[in-house]
């Protein structure tokens, strides 16, 4: 049946076309009402897309959300330290005009409002020839009217030192790290930001690069600082990927670590889950693309190394973190697949082995590191860990106040470190002594080879000797507006690296990592084999004696039958008759 869509201009009657009646009724509505309705629909969509929570904050009269603490019920560390932290037992209220995890995260990276100060730079050489920029900030540098009167770092033996591990492609000039360094130094402590290799304006001087699971640099730096400042308590704060590296480092070394306490902020925990999460929604893909661009920029700064060791064409075409890891990180780190790299470098598998006081801070609405990856049960089972989660906050943002001038997590970290410093729960590295094994110990206590893969070109010793670490005495002030690239020849001279390599028994820089890897495998084997030989020396001789005495009758009889006739012919007749 055909419908008549024509509408007459005469007065509408009850027998007219219903669609014409509807159209005529809609035409009577003012256009301004349509605009208001469209604006409402768009704002509703935007409100959900940006995950805004302004209305929730408004209905709660801006009282904020409480901090949820997850810990072991019998944790003495919580009772003695964390229970005294008022900030962790209070509430967090986001800046009203930043009531969104995305707005907070984007505002932090593009604005951030960092405080103004200058670092003191120290260029540090690792055992494999790599260069790490250590940016220091002292309490005297942030005090009123502070003037640099000297070009060296103060050597106060009792002042605590806070080592900061930046996030992915971040360095000491990042806004959130400046907030942390400034307020921590204000508390009277020393702060040193350990920049990743190739970041902070320093060239790459070896074939070992950092990644999400590369713990050798933080281990080497911490051991070096502990050797130079044996009476100063060392604390470590890791952020984002730096938090993942920190937790993995703590789990790998256990109690054998010169760190008094640590804080992990916005850790990704499980890199495989994070990889699935960051490609799930369109808004997450924005962060994936942004981080991939940052990684490409990092690779372009060191193109000669990446073009030689990785797939440069694939790096240029990468549009996600996974693409970059496939064409660069996986190849340099000698991983079979990207998923293999993610599994081996995830810190969630090392949580149960953490043996020092550790505070973990995460936001449940983090748009980069999802809450799905948080190991709730593992954190609750470890008496040394307290997990603090906040409903809002974004990624490393947690802006508070009407002017968004401060970060909540920075205040929480400083309060926690202060309470830990005043308590008796600071971890003290135990002296490692070789156990005395009695002579009658079982033989099954034999040598073993423990080869540990950290995902770089060559793994290094878990406990590098800081005697081999050379400190390049170059101290400079770093401008707030960013760090300029320092030419490689100014960082470290090629002939000096060749000389150091020859001292270590390697003919060049490129073979330094391979040499260290061989030493890493052979040295434990030789040590344990020698120990086994010394311990079982008497046992072996005892076994030889027992074997001879028990088998002699049979062996003697066999020898007598075989050689008896010859013996009778040789011996005199009288002796034989006797």
What is the structure's pLDDT at 21? 87
What is the rounded distance in angstroms from the CA atom of residue 361 to the CA atom of residue 420? 16
pLDDT of amino acid 429: 81
Cα gap 262→246, rounded to integer Å: 8
Q: Phi and psi dihedrals of 95, rounded to 5?
A: -55, 125
Show the DSSP H helices in 435-536 as ranges. Answer: 488-491, 494-503, 512-535
305 & 350 share domain: no
DSSP classification of residue 349: G
Give the DSSP per-residue string, 77-95: HHHHTGGG-TTTTSEE---
**Residue of 284 and 548 predicted with greater confidence:** 284
Pairing mode, strands 91-92 and 65-66: antiparallel
**398 CB neighbour count, 10 Å cutoff:** 26
- pLDDT band for position 533 (cuts 50, 70, 90): very low
Q: Are residue 353 and residue 322 in the same domain, yes or no?
A: no
Provide the pLDDT for residue 557. Answer: 58
Domain containing 301 equals 275-343
Give catalytic residues, as residue numbers: 240, 366, 395
> What pLDDT score does 479 carry?
43
Predicted pLDDT of residue 555: 52
Torsions phi, psi of 16, nearest 5? Answer: -75, 175
Q: What average pLDDT is seen over the chain?
A: 80
* 3-state secondary structure at position 450: coil
3-state secondary structure of 55: helix
Tell me the chain's radius of gyration from C-alpha atoms. 33
User: Does residue 268 surpass a pLDDT of 90?
Assistant: yes
pLDDT band of residue 224 (cuts 50, 70, 90) is: very high
Q: Is residue 12 included in any domain, yes or no?
A: no
pLDDT value at residue 553 = 55
- At residue 118, does pLDDT exceed 50? yes
**Please, what's the b/e burial string for 403-431 (b: 16 or more CB within 10 A of its CB; e: otherwise)?**
ebebbbbbbbbbbbbbbbbeeebbbeeee
Cβ-Cβ contacts under 8 Å for 136 (sequence gap 6 or more)? 119, 120, 121, 122, 153, 190, 191, 192
**DSSP category for residue 468:** G
Q: Are residues 230 and 317 in the same domain?
A: no
Q: Are residues 295 and 413 in the same domain?
A: no
Q: What is the pLDDT of residue 435?
A: 39
Tokens representing residue 398 in the block: 């947690």
Q: What is the DSSP letter of 437?
A: P
Q: Are residues 173 and 301 in the same domain?
A: no
Contact 458, 518 (CB under 8 A): no
Using CB atoms within 10 A of its CB, is residue 531 exposed (0-12), middle (13-18) or buried (19+)?
A: middle
Residue 14 has pLDDT above 70, yes or no: no
Tell whether 380 is covered by a domain: yes
Query: What DSSP line would sit under 223-281, residue for residue?
Result: HHHHHH-TTS-EEEEEETHHHHHHHHHHHHHTT----SEEEEES----HHHHHHHTTTS
Which of 107, 233, 121 shows the shortest CA–CA distance to 172? 121
What pLDDT, on the 0 to 100 scale, is given for residue 538?
45
The answer on pLDDT for 540 being more than 70 is: no
Q: Is the pLDDT of residue 559 over 50?
A: yes
Q: How far apart are CA 156 and CA 188, in angstroms?
A: 11
Number of folded domains that form the chain: 2
Confirm whether 545 is domain-assigned: no
Is the pLDDT at 263 greater than 80, yes or no?
yes
Residue 98: inside a domain: yes
Bridge partners (DSSP) listed for residue 361: 265, 388
What is d(CA 343, CA 349) in angstroms, rounded to the nearest whole number? 9
Are residues 218 and 168 both part of a single domain? yes
3 state DSSP class of 152? coil
Tell me the two tokens of residue 336. 């079979």
Instruction: Calculate the alpha carbon distances from 384 to 74, 177, 359, 459 in Å.
Output: 10, 25, 9, 28
Count of C-beta atoms within a 10 Å radius of residue 297: 10
Residues in the chain: 578
Separation CA 268–CA 447 (nearest Å): 37
**Among residues 285, 288, 335, which one has the least CA distance to residue 310?**
335
Cα–Cα distance for residue pair 191/219, rounded to 1 Å: 17
- One domain for residues 166 and 225: yes
SS3 of residue 326 by DSSP: helix
314 in the same domain as 264? no
Rounded to whole angstroms, how far apart are CA atoms 162 and 185? 9
368 domain-assigned? yes
Q: What is the mean pLDDT of residues 185-201?
A: 96
Per DSSP, the three-state class of 353 is helix
Structure tokens belonging to residue 217: 């640099």
Q: Which of 398, 422, 446 is the last residue of a domain?
A: 422
List the CATH number of the domain containing 179: 3.40.50.1820
256 and 285 together in one domain: no
Tell me whether residue 407 is in a domain. Answer: yes
> What pLDDT score was predicted for residue 24?
87
370 with 249, same domain: the answer is yes
| 119 part of a folded domain | no
CA 211/CA 457 separation, integer angstroms: 11
Domain termination site, one of 317, 343, 369: 343
Which pLDDT tens digit goes with each residue over 55-100? 999 999 999 999 999 999 999 999 999 999 999 999 999 999 999 9
* Overall average pLDDT of the 152-175 stretch: 86
Q: Please tell me the distance from the alpha carbon of residue 99 to that of residue 522, in angstroms, as a whole number.
A: 56
With vertex at residue 55, the alpha carbon angle to CA 52 and CA 56, rounded to the nearest 5 degrees, is 90
d(CA 338, CA 326): 6
- Stated pTM of the model: 0.74
The pLDDT assigned to 454 comes to: 38
**Tens of pLDDT along 298-345?**
999 999 999 999 999 999 999 999 999 999 999 999 999 999 999 999
């Amino acid at each position: 049946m055909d419908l008549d869509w024509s509408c007459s201009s005469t007065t509408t009657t009850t027998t007219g076309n219903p669609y014409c009646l509807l159209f005529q009724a809609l035409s009577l509505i003012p256009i301004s009402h349509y605009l208001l309705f469209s604006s409402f629909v768009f704002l509703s969509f935007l409100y959900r897309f940006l995950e805004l929570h302004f209305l929730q904050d408004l209905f709660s009269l801006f009282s904020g959300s409480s901090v949820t603490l997850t810990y072991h019920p019998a944790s003495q560390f919580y009772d003695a330290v964390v229970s005294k932290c008022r900030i962790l037992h209070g509430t967090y209220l986001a800046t009203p005009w930043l009531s969104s995890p995305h707005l907070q995260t984007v505002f932090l990276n593009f604005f951030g409002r960092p405080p103004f100060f200058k670092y003191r730079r120290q260029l540090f050489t690792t055992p494999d020839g790599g260069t790490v920029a250590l940016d220091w900030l002292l309490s005297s540098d942030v005090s009123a009217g502070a003037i640099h009167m000297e070009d060296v770092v103060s050597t106060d033996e009792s002042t605590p030192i806070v080592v900061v591990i930046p996030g992915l492609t971040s360095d000491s000039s990042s806004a959130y790290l400046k907030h942390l360094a400034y307020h921590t130094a204000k508390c009277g402590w020393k702060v040193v930001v350990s920049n990743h290799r190739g970041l902070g304006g320093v060239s790459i001087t070896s074939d070992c690069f950092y990644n999400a699971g590369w713990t050798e640099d933080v281990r080497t730096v911490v051991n070096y600082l502990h050797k130079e400042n044996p009476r100063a308590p060392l604390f470590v704060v890791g952020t984002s990927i730096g938090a993942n590296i920190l937790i993995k480092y703590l789990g790998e070394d256990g109690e054998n670590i010169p760190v008094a306490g640590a804080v992990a902020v916005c850790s990704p925990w499980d890199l495989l889950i994070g990889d699935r999460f960051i490609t799930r929604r369109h808004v997450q893909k924005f962060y994936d693309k942004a981080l991939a661009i940052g990684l490409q920029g990092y690779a372009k700064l060191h193109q000669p190394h990446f073009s030689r060791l990785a797939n440069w064409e694939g790096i240029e075409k990468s549009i996600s973190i996974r693409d970059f890891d496939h064409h660069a990180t996986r190849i340099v780190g000698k991983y079979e697949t990207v998923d293999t790299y993610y599994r081996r470098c995830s810190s969630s598998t090392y949580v149960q082995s953490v043996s020092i006081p550790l505070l973990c801070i995460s936001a449940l609405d983090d748009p980069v590191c999802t809450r799905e990856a948080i190991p709730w049960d593992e954190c609750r089972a470890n008496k040394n860990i307290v997990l603090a989660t906040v409903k809002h906050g974004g990624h490393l943002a947690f802006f508070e106040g009407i002017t968004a001038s401060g970060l909540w997590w920075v205040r929480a970290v400083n309060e926690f470190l202060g309470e830990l410093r005043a308590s008796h729960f600071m971890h003290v590295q135990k002296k490692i002594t070789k156990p005395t094994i009695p002579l009658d110990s079982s033989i099954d206590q034999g040598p073993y080879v423990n080869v540990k893969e950290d995902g770089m070109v060559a793994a290094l010793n878990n406990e590098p000797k800081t005697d081999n670490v050379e400190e390049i005495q170059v101290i400079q002030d770093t401008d707030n507006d960013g760090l300029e690239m320092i030419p490689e020849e100014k960082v470290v001279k090629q002939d000096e690296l060749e000389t150091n390599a020859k001292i270590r028994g390697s003919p060049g820089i490129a073979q330094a990592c391979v040499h260290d890897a061989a030493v890493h495998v052979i040295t434990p084997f030789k040590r344990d084999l020698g120990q086994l030989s010394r311990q079982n020396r008497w046992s072996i001789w005892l076994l030889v004696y027992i074997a001879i005495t028990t088998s002699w009758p049979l062996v003697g009889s066999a020898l007598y039958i075989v050689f008896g006739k010859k013996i009778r012919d040789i011996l005199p007749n009288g002796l034989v008759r006797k």
